[in-house]
Chains A and B, each alone.
Chain A
Amino acid sequence: MSLISRFRSIPVTYRVPVIVALLMVMISAVISERVLDRLSRTQEGFLNGLAETYLDGLSSAVLPSVLRGDVWEVFDALDRSSSSYEALSPIETVVTGSDGRILAATDPARMATFSQLPANYLNRYGPGIVTIDESALTGFAKRDLIYQGQPVGTIHATFDVSRLFAERHEIFLTLLVTNGVLAVLFSLGGFLIVRQMISPMRILENHMRSAAHGTAEPISLEQIPEGDSEVAGLFRGYNTLVHAERERANLAMQLAEEEKLSSLGRLASGMAHEINNPLGGLFNALDTLKTHGETPGVRDTSISLIERGLAGIRDVVEAALATYRPERSHRPLSADDLDDVRLLLKPELHRKRQRLDWEIVWNGSGELPVRGGPVRQAVLNLLLNASAVTAEGGILSLKAEDSRNQLVIEIGDQGPGFPADFAGILVDSDPGPAVRAGGGLGLWMVRRLVDDLRGRVVIATKKDGGTAVTLLIPFQREDRKANAA
């Protein structure tokens, strides 16, 4: 992770103060550099001015004495001037004659009169008025003594500039402390302000996080700030969204229930028909028994007829019970579940004179670790849908095969193909827009069931026309084996 990415991962509550502190440090550094640079130049200008004044005054005082070679008068002038320029803090002043020998120095014991000036005094000067040696905290300046255009001597002056550096150091420390305190205060202020600013966002974040986990709750009125119109607007917008989503979900559940009842109605009518058909035979058998029950052959034949008729009715009723009783929907899926579906669909197929091609390849044991109820319901819905879009006398198909960890069920029809909106309900990652586009409640129920099973749907056009809808439902075979073991 790069440094920028790491920085971005820091919460904004801390990121803003850090940015403020960094900005303050940068601003402080720039300001300090400018202040110290300006101070340095001011000090140098001040020092140059003082040195010029000192050398001007001293030149006037000593020039006649230097001309006469009057050692005492030169010394006396130096002695008197040393106490007159305290601001400059002269450490040592040496006056030499035209021959380069020392006439007098402020400290004759160190720089003896009439001795030769040390060579380093001649080489220590830079181009400026005052040359500063920062390591020794001293400044040097010299002035040639000119009389009638002729050099008659030189003044070499050494100043104590430690006060200038001490002043710079003091100002640097002052800047450092002041800017440091300001940076801390601004950072703290930034932290508090940002925390205050984003606290409403945290409320929104928490609600949205809850919503992502399936429990979207509106923000309570107490938490909506009165004065902050932007945040209040945002919160109200979120609450409107939550309410709208709840209404939509309620409506969808209601519609789904209605669709379920509708399907049930269709099945019930089919079942009634299926039950009604044997009922005629049963009643005929009963009449036959009433009339010719004493005849053993007739009685046995009639009873057998009644028994088969009731067995058919029992199968239909059991299939309906298996499909629509929730407590039975959690059982593992077995081939019987798919047979139930075929049984339930039979009246509809019969009504429309359609044929169902049935191909089940069950590789494992009798049961798969997949909840049978939802699979049965989804397959039934898809087959009903396939029947609806296929013309009378057409052919439907169902192929089911379990692989190592996936159940694949393909339902084929001979319909004109899925409209894009209807297909979106089954295959889009977010089926919301397709659902809102209208219709397809049966398909939406299939989608919800498949989502519950963590499966997915693939829609393809068949080579010989029609559509193949394939359910891919994963499962954990190991669990099954473990259970089996």
Chain B
Amino acid sequence: MPRISEAEVQPFKFGLTPVFLSNDLELLGYLRGYLTSKLGGPVELVSRRTYQEITALLVSGQIHSAWICGYPYVQFKADLDLVATPVWHGKPLYQSYLVTAAGRPVNDWTGLKGDVHAFSDPDSNSGFLVTRTLLAKNKLLPEQFFSRSFFTYGHRNVVRAVASGLAQSGSVDGYVYEVMRQTEPDLIKQTRIVQQSEWLGFPPVASPKSLSGDPRVKALRLALVSMKNDPEGKKVLDLLRLDGFLATDPSLFDTIAAEVEIVRQFG
């Protein structure tokens, strides 16, 4: 009883990173409403500008759960439990895209040499790690291959930077890019995909291991996995253009862990 009472007083804090289309207030409203109804108590959505801030809050137990990227999950695998992984096009997988301005005659990633390059976030798998791994595999560092690079702290911002000409190329989450193709086609038309990565584990929802016994975390997993069967949850999924959530094994992110290792070894 005391724990229930504490839960009633303290809202369940759910963190969101820019991997998620966090600028859609309608979506945030639906998500909060759905989780509140399923968890049986108030839910607070916590947004921060960078992955690092959310990861720090999550690992330190200041928030109860968060939708993070596979790269931070791999980095803090020892401290985090997987809650659920989104399913997109039937699989809990996604890709990283290298994009450039539409009409630029570039065939593969080597054509991007000397560009001003826009990354999403230094803790983003698709928006940084994948490209850095690609370069590492070719014995290159980003600062050697690109003339300049900067972080936009948002996959949508990477697309805007490339479309406007602020950057000549960018590393972007393939899922976000494809959703934007439907929501902001004019913006996407100003860019084109140069190269797509292999399929990688979709950014998962994780919680601190310290809260593994927390019934609200279990309730969250249930709520996410059953979201596709709930009318309110379906609204959330439709806005996210996702099929649903799936309880996955941590091994789904082994490919990302391998990338981290390549980068670590190259330095």
Q: Which residues of A contact B (CB under 8 A)?
A: 70-72, 75-76, 79, 104, 107-109, 112-114
Q: Is A109 in contact with B147, judged by CB distance below 8 angstroms? A: no
Q: How far is the CA of A112 from the CA of B115 in the complex (A)?
A: 11
Which residues of chain B in 133-177 are interfacial with respect to chain A, using CB atoms and an 8 Å cutoff?
147-148, 150-153, 157, 160-161, 164-167
Cβ contact within 8 Å between B147 and A72: no
Distance between Cα atoms of A104 and B160 in the complex (Å): 13
B184 → A minimal CB distance (Å): 14
| Residues of B in contact with A (beta carbons under 8 Å apart) | 116, 118, 147-148, 150-153, 157, 160-161, 164-167
Say yes or no: B167 contacts A113, CB within 8 Å.
Answer: yes
Q: Is the CB of B166 within 8 A of A71?
A: yes
- Residues of chain B with a CB closer than 8 A to A76's CB: 157, 160
Top 4 nearest A-B pairs (CB, nearest first) are: A109-B165, A108-B165, A108-B166, A72-B152
- In chain A, what residue has the closest Cβ to B154? A72
Q: Are A75 and B116 in contact (CB under 8 A)?
A: no
B153 partner residues in chain A, CB cutoff 8 A: 72
Is the Cβ of B165 less than 8 Å from the Cβ of A107?
Answer: yes
Give B205 Cβ to nearest chain A Cβ, in Å: 27
Known contacts A76-B157, A107-B165; A114 and B152 CB within 8 A of each other: no
Residue of A nearest to B168 (CB): A112
Give CA–CA (A75, B164) in the complex, Å: 10
| A-B residue pairs in contact (CB < 8 Å), sample of 12 | A72-B150, A72-B153, A76-B157, A76-B160, A104-B166, A108-B165, A108-B167, A112-B165, A113-B116, A113-B166, A113-B167, A114-B148
On chain A, the residues within 8 Å of B151 by CB distance are 72
> A70 touching B165 by the CB < 8 A rule?
no
Query: In angstroms, how far is the closest chain B Cβ from the Cβ of A108?
Result: 4
Q: Is the CB of A75 within 8 A of B148?
A: no
Bound state CA distance, A104 and B161, in angstroms?
A: 10
Partner of B116, one of A70, A79, A107, A114: A114
How many Å lie between the Cα of A410 and that of B161 in the bound state? 124
- Closest-by-CB residue of B relative to A110 is B165
A107 to B118 alpha-carbon distance, docked (Å): 16
Q: B residues within 8 A CB of A70?
A: 150
* Known A-B contacts A72-B157, A76-B157; A113 and B148 likewise in contact (beta carbons under 8 Å): yes
Shortest B170–chain A CB gap in Å is 10
Q: Bound state CA distance, A289 and B192, in angstroms?
A: 169
Nearest neighbor of B149 in chain A, beta-carbon distance: A71
Roughly how many angstroms separate A109 CA and B101 CA in the complex, as a whole number? 11
* Sample of 18 further A-B pairs with CB below 8 A, known A75-B161, A108-B165, A108-B166: A71-B150, A71-B166, A72-B118, A72-B150, A72-B152, A72-B153, A72-B157, A72-B166, A76-B157, A76-B160, A79-B160, A104-B166, A107-B164, A107-B165, A108-B164, A112-B165, A113-B167, A114-B148
Please tell me if the beta carbons of B164 and A72 are within 8 angstroms of each other in the complex: no
- Closest A residue to B147 using CB positions: A114
Taking CB atoms, residues of chain B closer than 8 Å to A71 are 150, 166
Most chain B beta-carbon neighbours within 10 Å: one of A75, A107, A109 = A75
A76–B157 Cα distance when bound, in Å, is 9
Within 8 Å CB of B148, what residues of A? 113-114
In the bound complex, residues from chain B placing their C-beta under 8 Å from that of A108 are: 164-167
Assembly CA distance A79 to B163 (angstroms): 13
Bound CA–CA A104/B157 (angstroms): 14
How far, in angstroms, from A109 to B161 measured CA to CA in the complex? 11
Distance A104 CA – B151 CA, assembled complex (angstroms): 14
Interfacial chain A residues near B116, Cβ < 8 Å: 112-114
State the Cβ distance, B99 to closest chain A Cβ, in Å.
15
CA distance A104 to B167 in the complex (A): 10
Q: List, in ascending order, chain B residues with CB within 8 A of A79's CB.
A: 160, 164
In the assembled complex, the Cα of A79 lies from the Cα of B160 at a distance in Å of 10
Would you give the shortest CB distance from B101 to chain A, in whole angstroms?
A: 8
